A and B are shown apart, each in its own frame.
Chain A
């Protein structure tokens, strides 16, 4: 292990007053709670206008009804060519074969769905030459049943698409992140097998209302990372042999400043001891190999029902920005992990080969001879709580309160029903196009780059379709004005709407 990695956390370990906790844990009365009953954590998210949502009817689909329009891409053909030709609302069915391309999706309601035939998948192979396998920015995006390997950037990367579903994909050795939705709302990442990723296998960045479930992530620097995101549930994942397993972070310097309300529950977090191969300078490059769950500056993280075993540094590390020596500063971000809630977890054989700073903390709490270490907390963590603390070997949780709930059963997930697309009336669109584009060259009654609107009205007053046709393919009509550039990038409906609007403006 590199020395630089060891120093990442706990750099001011000795700041804990030695002896402050002397003997306390052994003398404490046992407070035993049962997590099979009792109060439940109700979560931090209330869907607006959705008060009657029934938790029993858990949402498992967010992208809306499947389109009926289907195109098929066969081995040897181009997925991108099919997407380019597709209208919004198309299933692109990809047959088994090998595809060497970067696929980008900038329209709504596109589903890329691989067909698996007797185990043979549609393979996107970047051959270590291509950057990303799939880039999407459209809403209601679905990627399923694909195999992605040998890309340099990301496997699947989203930029602001909402209502996404990424499931049943196999992603191997594909750069920095395997699956990375960013700046999106309402998404599901489930049943993916992701490995050999140089940062996080699954990285939820600056996104809200997310479910990450039933994924198998391994041999990566970070397993699943929830960063600067709100209302995320990470459950039923198998997270093994990464450098760090599950991460809830606030990374400084991003435009969204907090991570709030993350539930890590019912995951297997096993043997995350892989040597750190993160890129120099990356945030995860500082994670000590052997970290099960790491909470840094995130608020309201609930850790429940996980089996956390064989992580050699610690099962759970809770820290702040100040203790992470490679983390920059952000005056707008709260650097502390507030209100961490540790419920029942099965923790076995963690911390068996921990870092010296953690050993010093154990010493400071007079836990001499501890062969394991389950939970480490450094830095302020106000409002935090724990139940059945006597089960674990801990440092720094002496001042945690007893939680007033024992489970998260009341919180099914934070997903939202598919949001229907916004209805835009043609008149409204016509006005906005007129004001946003046409007025750059035309004023109502004055000469600008093009002729006055009054003159245009006189010519086309009873013929909006004629005006709509003209702006698509203008011809030079006047010697005293430059030729108008074609506005054929507007669809015919919009062209007619703007023509109608232009013909009725009065100033």
Chain B
């Protein structure tokens, strides 16, 4: 408690006179871009995709295919409180890391690293996935071990290899902060008593569901504007969805993931041990080395690639698939490689066109605004950013 107060004072000192006084923190009463505030005062997503259907409402298919069911319906205040929490290093054990340290708006809501770095500089083991369009997901983490954003939140918060906090310390710090007590009261007006852990998770989930990217040039093409994609990108789209490359069999539109576990046989970076992935969660040896298929939206913004960052750029990833089934699989570990992992034998030009097309999936118009100051007054150190 005392330490937190000291940090607040120290941070306030360095923030200079331009920031608001602690009492000036207010929560937005309007919904974020892309959302309509309903008569009930909650924010609901609006997108042209709502005019399309999908088979079984699964949100998988081709161009004009509806999205899968998603999370929304949070209040503007809950979403904005989540934004403050997301950017506030008070959530980490020693006040050095915020969620945004590894899910940085300037880096595609990822961190630009092969694998994330924890509170004390540890290798967190896997790459930070982007948070774009998590409102539509049903499984979280590379190994799909959480089934909601709320369940996911406790992972990095309390992992000693990541943010290194404890539930007790997290709640003590937040309850010890008058600004947060007031903001939580605004966001959860019916709640009584001190700030509860579940409210923290709810607010973080509310904010993350506002991170929607559905306005890329690809989407404009989908909605009927043929010229939104240039000739190279169209060619790339056709290679991407061809049954030679088969990319879209797992990276299925409109979200460019089918959310399944797939055993791909990607290499680990030098010196990095083999990662069994979902096998450990599902207890199924046939899924050894299986990981959740990631979305490709904003993929050009989130290098390096793979669960452990084995690939520096998109072309390297596409080349990996093009080198054929099992080209980087460990020789001493039996893997049930996914049947779509084949030997596509694409030409160099086709590989380039796929990369061109992936660039058309970029849309960051609803990028969130980082707060100029956070209620704790702390500043994330973005450890290791200088490298």
Contact = CB atoms under 8 A, between A and B. Distances in A.
Contacts of B237: 104
Interface stretch (B33-41, B114-122, B303-311): B33-41
A271 B235 CA distance: 41
B55 A489 contact: no
Given A106-B221, A331-B282, A331-B284, A138 B215 contact: no
Contact of A489 (B58, B61, B228): B228
A267 B224 CA distance: 42
Contacts of A132: 238, 242-244
Interface residues of A, number: 65
B130 to A, nearest CB: 18
Given A329-B287, A435-B35, A440-B365, A175 B225 contact: no
Interface string B185-224: 0000000000000000000000000000011000011111
Contact of B243 (A84, A176, A184, A422): A176
Given A432-B47, A436-B214, A208 B55 contact: yes
Contacts of A152: 244
B284 A329 contact: yes
A157 B242 CA distance: 8
Interface residues of B, number: 65
Interface in B320-345: 325, 336-339, 341-343
A424 B52 CA distance: 10
Contacts of B366: 440
A131 B245 contact: yes
Contacts of A154: 242-243
B63 interface: yes
Interface stretch (A276-284, A373-381, A399-407): A276-284
A279 B242 contact: no
Interface in A430-463: 431-433, 435-437, 439-441, 443-444
Interface stretch (A19-27, A251-259, A298-306, A352-360): A251-259
B34 A440 contact: yes
A177 interface: yes
B243 A280 contact: no
B50 A432 contact: yes
Contacts of B259: 255
Contact of B325 (A139, A180, A280, A422): A280
Contact of B58 (A159, A255, A329): A255
Contact of A432 (B46, B222, B243, B338): B46
B285 to A, nearest CB: 8
Interface in B247-285: 248, 252-253, 258-263, 282, 284
B215 A440 contact: yes
Contact of A279 (B37, B228, B342): B342
A137 interface: yes
Nearest to B279: A329
A131 B262 contact: no
B46 A444 contact: no
B61 A183 contact: yes
A160 interface: yes
Interface string A464-507: 00000000000000000000000011110000000000000001
Interface of B: 30, 33-37, 46-48, 50-51, 53-56, 58, 60-65, 214-215, 220-228, 234, 237-239, 241-245, 248, 252-253, 258-263, 282, 284, 286-287, 325, 336-339, 341-343, 365-366
